[in-house]
Amino acid sequence: MIITPGLRRAGGMAVVLFCAVVAARAVDWPQYRGITQDGTSAETGWLKTWPPTEVWRANIGIGFSSLAVSEGRVYATGSVEHKDYTYCFDALTGAKIWSHSFPVAGNPTDGPRATPTVDGDRVYTLSHMGDLYCFNKVTGEVVWNKKITTGRMNEWGFAGSPLVDGNMLILNAGGNQGMALDKNMPSKVIWSSGGTAGFSSPKIFACQARRIVIMQTTNHPKGGGVGIDAATGEWLWGYGGAGGTIQDQDPQFYGTDKFFTKCGLYQISPDGKSLTTIWKNDNLGWSYSLPVIVGDYVYGITSNSRLRCVSLADGSVKWSREHMPEGTMIASDGKIIWFGDDGLLIIFKADPKGYDTEGREPYKAVVKLSGGHQMACPVLANGLLYCRSYGGDLVCLSMGAGKAARSEKGK
């Protein structure tokens, strides 16, 4: 692990940084794509100065997984020389608190894809080869571990992040409708299906009558995406059409009874047993970059490198910008944070009127990371932005407390 020399010299930096951060509304990021699993954060007041200041940096090994941040700790996974690692870092200083490794089979160039999930005093991880671990989040002690052997993994391995719902640990693994384990007794399988697992992470929708697990699958006979009764594992409905191996379009909820994927907008009936298509088109197309919803509009990138704003009312394109690099995005405080394959960091206003409105240029900076392919979405938590590359560089940038961080480095 590397900590920037300027921060080594600044003994009081962590205290100054923390005080500056909490002045804004600070929010943790305990699981894949944040608290609400949609790539958005309720954090405000984080963009104080520009460009951002690098606070600390570490190398965690190759992988596509994103990060979790909870109670002052950052959780990450990576692969180094045929071993998978889970790390816990101090969120402010980058000091390694604990790590755990285990040998992993399969292609050594793949690395983990699933993001750690924090629940209470535990953190759950899933390797691309089906190694499921539960750690004490403070000490790193292994509470239990289990190998997923039911169902079949897809061609790229398991990619969906674990989801905790009550006493259940729900996985896009164990079959094309996923599986649910008792989070305290992993030998107890609550439900599981046959077939091949998909790529997306499961999400929970609560309607009047039941809780529904929604996720994309691989070659499910009744639809590319499925709705499953969370209590029983019963298939309720499908959407998006069957077939295809790249099914990573995580659903995102809109309003109280609708959800969006890149292929359309759907409405769930009050009893949860049926689904209605409101609109369907390919205006956002396919891309590994997942879109984000701000207000009544969705912002995303297409397979031909167009950044678009699409109306959720009817699926129409409000504006489109050509030649954007592949990358990932999150949203917070009415802004989009875009992290591109080339390390380009862009922040622009989420505005249906246009990409550059009122003559303003977006904030732009370059984050120097090794390995390219920034498929892991950035994480914003407590005024700090965390970016991770496939090659294993993990960088923490000061956003909400940039001025304080720079003043300390200058001492």
The answer to whether residue 211 scores a pLDDT higher than 90 is: yes
- The band of 400, judged by pLDDT with boundaries at 50, 70 and 90, is low
Query: Which of the 8 DSSP states describes residue 350?
Result: -
DSSP 256-290: TTEEEETTEEEEE-TTSS-EEEEEE--SS---SSP
Report the domain count for the chain: 1
CATH at residue 310: 2.130.10.10
* Spatial separation of the C-alpha atoms in residues 201 and 309, rounded to whole Å: 24
Question: pTM score, two decimals?
Answer: 0.89
Q: At what angle do helices 13-21 and 402-409 cross, to 10 degrees?
A: 160
Q: Which position has the token pair 């963009």?
A: 47
DSSP β-ladder status, 211-216 and 203-206: antiparallel
The answer to whether residue 14 scores a pLDDT higher than 50 is: no
Query: Tens of pLDDT along 46-94?
Result: 998 889 999 999 999 999 999 999 999 999 999 998 899 999 999 999 9
- The band of 24, judged by pLDDT with boundaries at 50, 70 and 90, is low
> How confident is the model at residue 115, as a pLDDT?
97
* Residue range(s) defining the domain that contains residue 293: 5-409
Query: Tens of pLDDT along 127-179?
Result: 999 999 999 999 999 999 999 987 777 777 889 999 999 999 999 998 888 99
Length of the chain: 411
Query: Tens of pLDDT along 289-309?
Result: 889 999 999 999 887 788 999
Give me 162's structure tokens. Answer: 């674990």
Give the bridge partners for 158, in sequence order. Answer: none
